[in-house]
Structure formats: C-alpha cells, structure tokens
A and B are shown apart, each in its own frame.
Chain A
Amino acid sequence: MALDAARREELRRLLDDYVETRSQASAARLIEGHLPLARHLARRFADRGQPLDDLVQVASIGLLKAVERFDADRGVEFATYAAHTILGELKRHFRDAGWAVRAPRRLQELYLELTRLVDELSQSLGRSPTVAELASSAGVTEEEVLEALEAGQAYRSSSLDAPAPGADGETSVASSLGQVDLAMATAEQRAELSGLLGRLAARERRIVHLRFWEDRTQAEIANELGISQMHVSRLLAKSLSTLREASS
C-alpha cells in the first residue's frame, strides 16, 4: 500500500502527537489515520467466506491493540508494527473464533468449497442445487454435505456485535420494516420489531427484510447484494440468532 509523501507526513505527525500525549483523542486520530491499512489487510482474507465488514472490524481491533501496545523506543515503524498486529488478529480470528463450534478442518474446507459450488450449480441449473447434486459435484456423500452445512452455520464471529442502532447510517430500521407492517402490526408490535431489527447491522437488516418482508429467495438476495448464496444463508442464520438473543 503505497503512501504519498504528504500522507506519510500526516501519519507521522499523528504518531508523534500520540507518543507525546498518549491522550485518547490522539489515539483516536491515529486509529482513524490507519483505518485504510486495516481495510487493506482485511481484504487479503476476503476469499475465505467471511463478510468483509466483519473482517474489517477484526482488523480494526488489531489496529486498536497496536496503538495501545506500541512502544516508540523499540525503533520499529508504527505502520510495520500495526500491520503485524492486525495480521495476527485476523489470523487468530480465523483460527480461534471463526468456527464457534470447532469443526474438523476437512469440514471447514468442504463448507468453503460448497459455498463456491452452490453458486456455480445455481448458474448452470437455473435453480438452487439439491444436497445430492452438491454431494456429487464435490465428490463427497450427502451426509458430509449436511455435516459441513451444519458446521458452516457455526462459522461465525462471536466477538462481533451488531452496531448500535443507526450507527451504520445506511438503512433506517423504519425503512427496513416497509409499508407492509403498517397494516400487519399493532403499534406495540411495530415498536418491538423496530427495536429488535435495530440490533442488526445494516446489511443483515436488509437481508432479513428482503427475505421475510419481500419474500425474496436467498439466490435473489445474493444476486442483489453481490455475495454468495451460502453467505446469505449464514447471515440469515446469524441474524435470527441475534434477534432471538435480543428478544430473550
């Protein structure tokens, strides 16, 4: 990631300010200044079946740790130290937190293979494949496909909480609910729905809205959002789990 001289100078100034003051405000500015680095490194892991937004959050946590732990006396450039820490955080995320219920490596790999195959077969068949078709294409048994799917639903990042309502600013909860609810729900139900859906990140809220309010299929949602069908499926399961926890 090449930086121009002015940008480099700005980051150096932010670092000097932080090293000198160690204030929260200067730490926040330093973090903000290095967010492009965090995003850049997160993108390197984007082909592993995890939402990029989640990876950026993990990378940001790594960046935060780098800022907290950085020791200027050790003579290492902050950007080098931060990149090392961010990469460590991303790798740890995949190793430890990625599979909430630890699944054997072969199932993790099969799940990622299925993610690709579902999209490919959907294209060639003009519909979603059956489990038997997936098994045949992957060269495994139907039971193995089902096992991998089950393991895949556990493939989530438990450390990533949904942002606070309105934090993302992309889709308001009110617009997610859509006009249909005006007739369907009482005011009390509507308030409850609004509160619950507000616990989801903007994209997940949109997926829930498209699936359950507009009755769109997973494949249609995947097309619209430019992500894989399995990714939609996983985000739906994750969203419903979040909503259940929020309502309990």
Chain B
Amino acid sequence: MAERKGAGDEIHLVVPTTPDLLRLVRVVASGLASRLGFQIDAVEDVRLAVDELCWTVVSRVDSTSTLAVRFVILEGAFAVEARLQPGPGAEADGAVLSALTERILSTLVEDYSLLPPTDGAGAGFRMRTKQS
C-alpha cells in the first residue's frame, strides 16, 4: 500500500477509513518521525496530531471511504496531506475543527489546516511537524 516515489522524499498511502487500518497512518508518521531523529515525546506528539486530524476528517464518513495520505519529508520535519475519497453514497461534506482540537493541534504541530472538499474529493487536512 505504501509507495516510495522519486528521490524517496514522499510516501503515499491509501487506507480504508476503519480504525484498525487508520492506525497505519499513525504508524507511518511515527516511523518517519523516528527516522528524522525526533525525541520520543515529539514522536508521540506527531502520533496524537495525526490521530486527531484523521478522526476529524473521517468521523462523518462510513467505512466504504478511503483516505489518501501523502507524507513529504522535509529538512528535519515532514508534512502530511490527506484527502478523503468518499465511498459510494457517502457525502463529501466538510470537516470542522472544534475549539479543543484547535488548541491541541496548535501545541502539537508547527502548522495545520483543513482542506475543503473539491470536485471528486472529500475533505482533508494538511499538517507540518515541528523540527526534530
């Protein structure tokens, strides 16, 4: 499912939006953080942030949808961009961040935003980790 592209600075992952498979997004994120030499608490921060954002965008769709995730390795950090691919019958409505989620994410990551649905694609998110 994971694909390494070009110079090896991007990883693409497509996972069904079920909790047991969404954890793969978290696993890849913590693996990347580890490769970049993040300290253990920073690895945990990345995992929490990815969990929070994934949940925000998938919480309103059923398990027929998939989440396409792109990890981009930067200098001492990495970015994650994810887009929902709604399953048949699922509505591609937008996701909303609660005040609490905003507070949590602003502590955990350097930058984050939600991506509104577009033609053919559902809502998504973009985040960038802090520097290792």
Binary interface profile of B, 1-34, with partner A (CB < 8 Å = 1, else 0)? 0000000000000000000100100110011011
With contacts A153-B47, A236-B48 taken as known, whether A129 is within 8 angstroms of B99 at the C-beta atoms is no
Q: Which residues of A contact B23 (CB under 8 A)?
A: 150
Which candidate, B38-46, B82-90, B113-121, B123-131, is the interface stretch facing chain A?
B38-46
Query: B44 is contacted by which of A129, A134, A215, A218 (Cβ under 8 Å)?
Result: A218
Q: Majority SS of interface residues in chain B? A: helix
Across the two chains, which residue of chain B brings its CB closest to A237?
B48
Chain B: minimal CB distance from A154 (Å): 9
Query: A146 is contacted by which of B31, B52, B55 (Cβ under 8 Å)?
Result: B31
- Using a CB-CB cutoff of 8 Å, which residues 85-123 of chain B contact chain A? 98-100, 103-104, 107
A192 with B41: CB separation less than 8 A: no
Interface presence of A217 (CB below 8 A) = yes
Q: Which residues of A contact B52 (CB under 8 A)?
A: 240, 244
With contacts A192-B98, A215-B107 taken as known, whether A132 is within 8 angstroms of B47 at the C-beta atoms is no
Q: Majority SS of interface residues in chain A? A: helix
Rounded to whole angstroms, the CA-CA distance of A122 and B92 in the bound complex is 45
A-B CB contacts (within 8 Å), total count: 81
B41 with A233: CB separation less than 8 A: yes
Rounded to whole angstroms, the CA-CA distance of A240 and B74 in the bound complex is 28
Rounded to whole angstroms, the CA-CA distance of A134 and B37 in the bound complex is 11
Across the two chains, which residue of chain B brings its CB closest to A220?
B41
Residue from the set B37, B98, B99, B107 with the largest chain A CB neighbour count within 10 Å: B99
Interface presence of B62 (CB below 8 A) = no
Chain A: minimal CB distance from B52 (Å): 6
With contacts A132-B34, A142-B34, A240-B48 taken as known, whether A193 is within 8 angstroms of B40 at the C-beta atoms is no
With contacts A150-B26, A150-B30 taken as known, whether A134 is within 8 angstroms of B59 at the C-beta atoms is no
Q: List 4 additional A-B contacts (Cβ < 8 Å) besides A132-B34, A150-B26, A192-B98.
A: A127-B39, A130-B37, A130-B40, A237-B48
